[in-house]
Every structure is written in structure tokens, then in C-alpha cells.
Amino acid sequence: MIPDLNRRVFLCRLASLLGGTFISSIVQATPPPEKGAKHTVEKGETVWGIARKYGVDPQEVLQLNRLEKPYTIYSGQSLLIPGTVKDDPPSGEENADRKHVVQKGETVWSISGKYNTTPTEIIELNDLKKPYRIYPGDELTIRGSSPSRSRQQGIAWLCRLPEGVRGRRWRYIIIHHSATRTGNAAIFDSHHRRLGMTYGLAYHFVVGNGTGSGDGEIEVGGRWKRQLHGGHVRSRQMNEVAIGICLVGDFNRTYPTRRQMENLVPLVQYLMDRYNVPKRRVVGHRDVQSTDCPGKNFSLTSLRGKL
Ligand SMILES: [Zn+2]
């Protein structure tokens, strides 16, 4: 819940007024939940054709898969499709560890992004020592997938930043509830704009509860893609350094769904790892401001226990 967001009735009514098309047109980063996370390229297919098939932006498919000009794809190639995090177990081929030969200019960080893994995992797996220097020609082992890694990978590509956008120095992760029974990123976005927030959606991520978006679906806000400050707490200083994650629901009355928690945990883990945020800085809105957000039924202790 953002500080001045108390018009619960208004929000609920707004939710029922908005049609699906309108919603997905606002939050481009989040196509409808039925879209698959992966697509195996068939003969004759093009990036443009595949993007159209899934109703997503071809540019996003290119970015997500780090495809470069002339954007050649091959039949049998596995492409990531922008969208929701799926639980599908990965195929056998992806379970095998892979080798990566370091190219000029690459860093552990940039390689981890390429393979949707984390810098920490590459460091551990290859026994790299501080300051984790790697050289062109070095061979690195990249871990294959497992079902839980598949979710972790999905999260990594959801959080991926567009080319040219640099990660901010995030220091905190703040958990909120929407204090509404229903909602999604687009609904909150339009509400926050009406409240005068130029950059819209005050949070960086919204985790759905099956009402306005999929149950457990992670929606990525525009502020994340542009690495902008949040608008989710009163303190301006805190907004500058705190990632805001909002779970749809009113946790003074109900509880987070199982799927919300199942995806929240790896999302927070990924962000902690990527931005070096310690567990003690994963907090609830009520820990930094006088509010009951994220609701009496949301236990931060229990969340931290799972991280
Ligand atoms: Zn809040």
C-alpha cells in the first residue's frame, strides 16, 4: 500500500471497469499469463513472426535473448518469450552444465545475465577468487537447470534490464500489500498516476493473486525497467534505495496465496543476490514507516526464514 493509497472501494470498482486489452496495453512488460516462457523455433519462423504469435513486442524478444543483427535464429533453438514465470520443468538438454569461453570485455556479471544465472553461482561453481577477474579464453562452467532453477531463471529474465540501462545501487527490499482484494500492475499504475505520480506504478514489482493477473504472476513495473526510484514509502531517501514489491491482497483480512509466496521468495533471493542486499534489509513497509502494511497476516520473520 502506498502512503496515500486508501481508496479501496475506488480501486475495486476500477478493477471491474477495466477490460483486459486496456490492462495489457499499459503494462507492456507483462503479457497475459497463458504465454509460455519458452518457444522452440520451427523451420521458417522469424523473431517477428514468433513475437506476433505470442502477442509480444519483437524488440523485447530480441533483447531477452540477446539476439544481435542480423537476428538469425535456427530451428530447434529455444527462445525466451517475455511474460510470466512458469513452473514447467526444463528439458533434459538444459539440465547439463555448459561451458562458456570468456570473450573480451565480458565480466562475471555480464555472463550471468546471458545465461540467466547469478554471479554468485558462477563464482562458486568455478571457484573464482576475489576480485573475480576473468580473462578472454577462460573457460567457465555454467550450471544446468533444475525445476527450482527454472523458476529462478524465469525471474532473472523478468528482471533483466534493457540494453543501456544501468542497475541502481539498491540497498533495501520493501514488501507491501495492495490492501485491496483484487488488482494488478496496470490498475495500480493508473491509480498512482491519478494521484499525481509522473512515473506511475509506485512499486517495482507486483505479485498477483489470481484476480487482476495470474496467481503468483510477477509483473515488472516501468520504474524497474528504467531503474527509477520508487514511490512506495513516505521517505524520499528510502525511495531512492529501496526496491518496492507489492503483493496483491489485503493481508489484514486474507493471507498471501501459496503461489504468491512461491514466487516472492526466489524474486527476493534473486534481487538480494544481484544487488547485494543483506537479509536484514528485506523489510516490510511497517518497518520503515508507521503503517500496518503489508498487513497483520504477512510475516516478515517467516519470509526471511525462507531466504
Ligand atoms: Zn505499503
For 220-268, write each residue's pLDDT tens digit: 999 999 999 999 999 999 999 999 999 999 999 999 999 999 999 999 9
Q: Are both 197 and 286 inside the same structural domain?
A: yes
Number of domains in the chain: 3
**Ligand 1: distance of its center to the CA of 293 in Å?**
5
Answer whether residue 20 is part of any domain. Answer: yes
How much distance in Å is there from the Cα of 153 to the middle of ligand 1? 27
Ligand 1 center to 164 CA (angstroms): 30
292 & 260 share domain: yes
What's the 207 CA to ligand 1 centre distance in angstroms?
A: 13
Residue 170's Cβ-count burial label (10 Å; 0-12, 13-18, 19+) is buried
Are 149 and 180 part of one and the same domain?
no
Distance from residue 176's CA to the centre of ligand 1 (Å): 4
pLDDT tens sequence across 126-172: 999 888 889 999 999 987 655 566 677 788 888 999 989 999 999 99
CATH number of the structural domain spanning residue 202: 3.40.80.10
Same-domain pairing of 186 and 295? yes
The DSSP string of the chain is --TT---HHHHHHHHHH--HHHHHHH-TT---TTS-SEEE--TT--HHHHHHHHT--HHHHHHHTT--TT----TT-EEE-SSPPP-PPPPHHHHS-EEEEPPTT--HHHHHHHTT--HHHHHHHTT--TT----TT-EEEE----HHHHHHHHHHHHHPPPTTPPPP---EEEEEE-SBSS--HHHHHHHHHHTT-TT--SSSEEEEESSSS-EEEEEEPHHHHTT----SSS-HHHHHHEEEEEESB-TTTS---HHHHHHHHHHHHHHHHHHT--GGGEEEHHHHSSS-TT-TT--HHHHHHH-
> Domain span at residue 141?
92-159
Domain termination site, one of 105, 125, 159: 159
Q: Clarify whether residues 44 and 115 are in a common domain.
A: no
Contact yes or no for 88/79 (Cβ under 8 A): no
Report the separation in Å between the CA atom of 43 and the middle of ligand 1, taken as the mean of its atom positions: 48
How far apart are the C-alpha atoms of 281 and 261, rounded to whole Å? 18
Is 128 found in the same domain as 255?
no
Do 174 and 302 lie in one domain? The reply is yes
pTM: 0.58
- The answer on 255 and 190 residing in a single domain is yes
Distance of CA 84 from the midpoint of ligand 1 (Å):
23
What is the band of 295 on the pLDDT scale with cuts at 50, 70, 90?
Answer: very high
CATH of the domain at 54: 3.10.350.10
In a domain, 1, yes or no: no
Last residue of a domain, one of 138, 159, 180: 159
* Residue 154 and residue 173 in one domain: no
Per-residue cell: 164: 543501456
Separation CA 153–CA 237 (nearest Å)? 31
Please indicate, yes or no, whether residues 21 and 105 belong to a single structural domain of this protein: no
- Cell numbers found for residue 21: 486489452
Report CA(159)–ligand 1 centroid distance (Å): 21
| Choice among 30-34, 294-298, 302-306 with the minimum mean pLDDT | 30-34
Span 63-92, mean pLDDT?
A: 66
Is 148 a member of any domain? yes
**59 shares its domain with 112:** no
| CA 268 to ligand 1 centroid distance, Å | 16
260 and 294 in a single domain? The answer is yes
Q: How far apart are the CA of 53 and the centre of ligand 1, in A?
A: 37
